[in-house]
Amino acid sequence: MVLSKAVPSSSHDASLDCTFASRYVRDPLPRFKLPEESIPKEAAYQVINDELMLDGNPRLNLASFVTTWMEPECDKLIMAALNKNYVDMDEYPITTELQNRCVNMIAHLFNAPIGEEETAVGVGTVGSSEAIMLAGLAFKRKWQNKRKTEGMPYDKPNIVTGANVQVCWEKFARYFEVDLKEVKLKEGYYVMDPEKAVAMVDENTICVAAILGSTLTGEFEDVKKLNELLTEKNKETGWDVPIHVDAASGGFIAPFLYKDLVWDFRLPLVKSINVSGHKYGLVYAGVGWVVWRSKEDLPDELVFHINYLGADQPTFTLNFSKGSSQIIAQYYQFIRLGFEGYKNIIENCMENAKVLRQGLEQTGKFNIVSKEVGVPLVAFALKDRTYYTVFDISENLRRFGWIVPAYTMPADAQHIAVLRVVVREDFSRSLAERLVSDIHKVVQELDEQVKHVTKVVTTQVDITARGGGTDGALVHKSEQEIAEEVITYWKKLVSHKKTSGVC
Amino acid sequence: MPENTIPKEAAYQIINDELMLDGNPRLNLASFVTTWMEPECDKLMMAAINKNYVDMDEYPVTTELQNRCVNMIAHLFNAPLGESEAAVGVGTVGSSEAIMLAGLAFKRRWQNKRKAEGKPYDKPNIVTGANVQVCWEKFARYFEVELKEVNLREGYYVMDPEKAVELVDENTICVAAILGSTLNGEFEDVKLLNDLLIKKNSETGWDVPIHVDAASGGFIAPFLYPELEWDFRLPLVKSINVSGHKYGLVYAGIGWVIWRSKEDLPEELIFHINYLGTEQPTFTLNFSKGSSQVIAQYYQLIRLGFEGYKNVMENCQENAMVLKEGLERTGRFTIVSKDNGIPLVAFSLKDHSRHDEFELSHHLRQFGWIVPAYTMPADAQHITVLRVVIREDFSRGLAERLVLDIEKVLRELDALPPNGKSMKRSADVANCHAALANGHVAKKLETDKKTNAIC
């Protein structure tokens, strides 16, 4: 006879637990100190993934110009290149060559005066910030060298731009000790005025920076006019002040939509141009490009010739090690889309921007501040700012999932506040229509609240009036007094978010 | 740019195929930069690929992950912080950006001080060893700071603290020490530097600080050598940089810089931008960039924890020893790297009369291995080394196979006629030694693979 025995079950093996059964979702996440122990990779993945669910949805982030969608085939290439350090040029010669091809293509797109088979002078960067710093450094060094040979002082370089410049120009100025001379804006004119700019130019000016695709309104500055006026000034004074075009957004729009717009190397004073690959270059965040007109515009002393593991490599970047994925992705886009593909995409963006603009105009509540020619975006201000502002609209739109930022303009137009929607490749017509309808809803809600508040306050005023006065006599307030009280009451309810700088 | 669109499958295939001719990142033994991560982390990275890091208002959790990493790294480096005090630091694209930010902070502090004293502030300099990585030279050139280098010598391939302190003058904005020299993995003696510099400061009334470039060593020393005092425990150390993408075990594209305290980062360098609604203080050179590497760094820090990092580094050390011993056993090599330091093995041929290290490196490529050969900087340029970096994903099996393949290459080279250049170099080396013995500075050699900067 076989006796059966009760065998105690083995103690619980915690490694079998699904993450949500384990202690890893009970322990607080480390914030200050490196935890002592390891945790399973599934747990690490899950806790981080879950917290990140509370980030905004990148594709509904209508604040940003930066690409938020790419084809799966490209994602595949990106994944495969994640472990390639771009700077190892000797080990990854193909990747290095893809960068060179991109530089050549972009230089040709910008009409750089190079021969058919000549290599362009340019480099891939992490973004337009790095690109602008490199371009600025080249201008600074060229100017310093010139002043030294002339025996003139070279300790006070300056750069002339509009007050609408993106913050990276201010960074360049502050970190590289260059004075920033800003041309102020005015109501109705939100870009740099070429005449005022040229008036500010002096012997210490290392360059004038024009923007193709102003951050705030998407407008293109008149680079051609700037070139003409500056050529004249240079002739009069004997100076040699050049132009840099910050085409961060516009560089991949103008060549496809506005072929006749002369803004690039076709203008003789334009010596360098930067463009963001990760804006309308249609690549994820992390790639920019700067192209110089010719070798002479990039002082050789700034270029490092390093022996990178066997071969001489000329490099001019601020960053060193970085991923290769975005460079490969940029090349993918160039050969996948070609000229016609980019053109089609940007045309679609412009169409959808128009749908949005017309929808907003139809509400009757907004003034459109952006122009139709420029980067596909819609910047709009409230006609009536008495009861609520664009900041309130921006906040309320978040409930629907939309991120639409509100800004005040820089000096001297700070009293103007706008909402800005950037139309990217992945913002389809149906999303545009949905946004219009949600903006409608928000505005209606805010209007309702105003009416309700007016009623409440007016009622309170009446009650106070009837109960006030020592002799019990009625106190009547004028309509204006009542309106003022309502506005004060309302403004107290709604919080105001003032802003001073924008990106 | 081509005129026409092509199908996405075609674009993918063409590019994928050309890229097959790139080297294999995992066999690239030249680089310190991480070439493998767990699939779970790859998943998080891919999901974050369309998040622009700088949109702090839109992605508050991602921003917070960066802050947590800064705090953890600051604590790892013994920054003098309270329990819940936020550290002063930032994530960067790599140690180059980190070093530029740190250098900028030193430069601005020194300028402000000199202005307040009414003294000239137009000739700032920085003191380092000749073994510095090229990004210090970039910083010097782009930000107009003079670089005063302490030259090396045969047998001593890092910065000599005594010589460094001698070079310090009233225009010195900082002395930069390296924890994990690029060439041979050695840790410089930061403690000795600190002690000597304190003395000099008290003699002269100056206030020269130290920056530690811990690009490689910052994620090694705390785990393998916790008693080694090199970080904020030394009072003159005001900032430290480390590469997240080296022994931080994250793919290329992330570095960290930590300051001792708020006072060490001049407020005027910080930008308070209104990024879409909220105020954000930022101090970086780059603006828009991907979020994936920051998230991956946080993943590694909580996934591995202290014990995980320690285990990985110990494994690397072990495998480095296996490689080193295998090479010693061939009897053909001198080991130039130290046992303590970064897990790497730098080695030279004992006999240069017939072939040199560059040829060995060349021949190893046939087997798929990328093992670089370098000449040392001044004043040891006559020394050439091969260098193998042991990363997390270089297992013992690979170490043993590498030794076997090196032995094969030696046999191949022995069968070949001597390399004419090599013979000339041999003679040059002899001349060099003679010149050194006579007290002359070593001449630069005429080899076609001259280097003056190394990575």
Q: What is the DSSP string of B240-309?
A: EEEETTTTT---SS-EEEEESSGGGS-GGG-EEEEETTEEEEE--S--S-BSHHHHHHHHHHHHHHHHHH
B112 band by pLDDT with thresholds 50, 70 and 90: very high
The one-letter amino acid code at A480 reads Q
Provide CB contacts within 8 A for A480, sequence distance 6+. Answer: none
∠ Cα B371 B253 B73 (to 5°): 105
pLDDT at A308: 52
- What gap in Å lies between CA A131 and CA A125, rounded to an integer? 6
Q: How many residues does chain B have?
A: 455
In chain B, residues with a C-beta closer than 8 Å to the C-beta of A84 are 22, 25, 252
Q: Does the pLDDT at position B452 exceed 50? A: no
B151, B132 contact by CB (below 8 A) = no
pLDDT tens track for B264-303: 999 999 988 765 555 667 899 998 899 999 999 999 999 9
A336, B6 contact by CB (below 8 A) = yes
B42, B402 contact by CB (below 8 A) = no
CB contact under 8 A, B94 and A322: yes
Question: Closest-CA residue in chain B for A311?
Answer: B449
CB contact under 8 A, A36 and B137: no
Helix or strand holding residue A244 (H, E):
strand A243-246
Among B275, B303, B452, the residue to mutate for chain A (most A Cβ within 10 A) = B303
pLDDT tens track for B94-108: 999 999 999 999 999
pLDDT tens track for B72-90: 999 999 999 988 788 999 9
Of B174, B127, B173, B129, nearest in space to B147 by CA = B127
Please tell me the distance in Å from A141's CA to the nearest CA on chain B: 9
Q: What string of DSSP letters covers B370-431? A: B--EEE--TT-TT-EEEEEE--TT--HHHHHHHHHHHHHHHHHHHHSPPPHHHHHHHHHHHH
pLDDT at B248: 97
Q: What number is the average pLDDT over the span B22-50?
A: 94
Provide CB contacts within 8 A for B436, sequence distance 6+. Answer: B154, B442
Give CB contacts under 8 A, 24+ apart, made by B221-229. Answer: B221/B179, B221/B187, B222/B76, B222/B77, B223/B306, B223/B309, B223/B310, B223/B313, B223/B314, B224/B310, B224/B313, B224/B314, B224/B317, B225/B187, B225/B340, B228/B187, B229/B190, B229/B191
Q: Does the pLDDT at position B191 exceed 70? A: yes
Q: Does the pLDDT at position A472 exceed 60? A: no
Q: What number is the average pLDDT over the span B129-153?
A: 92
pTM over 0.80: yes
Q: Does the pLDDT at position B352 exceed 90? A: no
pLDDT at B374: 86
Q: Does the pLDDT at position B23 exceed 70? A: yes
Provide CB contacts within 8 A for A478, sequence distance 6+. Answer: none
pLDDT tens track for A81-136: 999 999 888 889 899 999 999 999 999 999 999 987 788 999 999 999 999 999 99
Range with lowest mean pLDDT among A338-347, A477-486, B366-375: A477-486
pLDDT at B426: 53
pLDDT at A64: 92
In chain A, residues with a C-beta closer than 8 Å to the C-beta of B25 are 83-85, 91-92
B454, B182 contact by CB (below 8 A) = yes
Of A401, A341, A407, nearest in space to B2 by CA = A341
pLDDT at A311: 58
**Selected residue with higher pLDDT from A477 and A426:** A426
Please tell me the distance in Å from B358's CA to the nearest CA on chain A: 8
Q: Does the pLDDT at position A189 exceed 90? A: no
Q: What number is the average pLDDT over the span B419-447?
A: 46
A186 band by pLDDT with thresholds 50, 70 and 90: confident
CB contact under 8 A, B252 and A105: no
CA A456 to chain centre: 43
Q: Which two tokens stand for residue B68?
A: 């947590």
Q: What number is the average pLDDT over the span A358-385?
A: 94
Question: Closest-CA residue in chain A for B272?
Answer: A501
Please tell me the distance in Å from A22's CA to the nearest CA on chain B: 15
- What gap in Å lies between CA A42 and CA A25, rounded to an integer? 11
pLDDT at A408: 87
Q: For chain A, how big is the Rg over CA atoms in Å?
A: 29
Of A459, A249, A429, A286, nearest in space to A349 by CA = A429
Q: Does the pLDDT at position B438 exceed 50? A: no
Q: What number is the average pLDDT over the span A485-489?
A: 67
Q: What number is the average pLDDT over the span A338-354?
A: 96
CB contact under 8 A, B25 and A86: no
Of A164, A283, A218, nearest in space to A423 by CA = A218
CB contact under 8 A, B23 and A91: yes
Peptide linkage before B379 cis (omega within 30 of 0) = yes
Span between the terminal Cα atoms of chain B, in Å? 34
CB contact under 8 A, A84 and B94: no
The one-letter amino acid code at A367 reads N
Q: What number is the average pLDDT over the span A405-425?
A: 89
pLDDT at B76: 97
Q: Which two tokens stand for residue A378?
A: 């819609």
Q: What number is the average pLDDT over the span A47-70?
A: 93
Looking at A152-307, list the stretches that DSSP marks H as alpha helix, in order from N- to C-terminal side: 167-175, 194-200, 223-237, 254-257
pLDDT tens track for A247-301: 999 999 999 999 999 999 999 999 999 999 999 999 999 999 999 999 999 999 9
Q: Which two tokens stand for residue B209?
A: 């600080």
Q: Which two tokens stand for residue A141?
A: 């060094």
Q: Which two tokens stand for residue B179?
A: 């924890």
Q: Which two tokens stand for residue B283?
A: 């101090």
**Selected residue with higher pLDDT from B452 and B330:** B330
pLDDT at B441: 30
In chain B, residues with a C-beta closer than 8 Å to the C-beta of A336 are 5-6, 8, 11
- What gap in Å lies between CA B261 and CA A232, rounded to an integer? 52
- What gap in Å lies between CA A279 and CA A287, rounded to an integer? 9
Q: What number is the average pLDDT over the span A169-198?
A: 93
Q: Give the burial class of B229: count Cβ atoms within 10 A of its Cβ; 0-12 exposed, 13-18 middle, 19 or more buried.
A: middle
A290, A273 contact by CB (below 8 A) = yes
Please tell me the distance in Å from B202's CA to the nearest CA on chain A: 31
Of these ranges, A464-478, B29-43, B432-446, the one predicted with the greatest mean pLDDT is B29-43
Span between the terminal Cα atoms of chain A, in Å? 85
The one-letter amino acid code at B247 reads Y
Please tell me the distance in Å from B199's CA to the nearest CA on chain A: 32
Range with lowest mean pLDDT among A222-231, A243-252, A414-423: A414-423
In chain A, residues with a C-beta closer than 8 Å to the C-beta of B104 are 175
- E strand map for B30-164: 88-92, 125-129, 146-150
CB contact under 8 A, A92 and B23: yes
B450 band by pLDDT with thresholds 50, 70 and 90: very low
Q: Is the dihedral of CA B339, B343, B348, B350 positive or negative?
A: positive
∠ Cα B440 B189 B393 (to 5°): 105
Q: What number is the average pLDDT over the span A184-200?
A: 92
* Nearest-CB residue to A318 (from B18, B41, B97): B97
A450 band by pLDDT with thresholds 50, 70 and 90: confident
- Distance of CA B172 to CAs B35, B109, B145, B207, Å? 38, 11, 9, 9
A18 band by pLDDT with thresholds 50, 70 and 90: confident
pLDDT at B444: 30
Give the side-chain half-sphere CA count within 13 A for B377.
24
Please tell me the distance in Å from A95's CA to the nearest CA on chain B: 7
Please, what is the average pLDDT of chain A?
Answer: 88
Q: Does the pLDDT at position A307 exceed 90? A: no
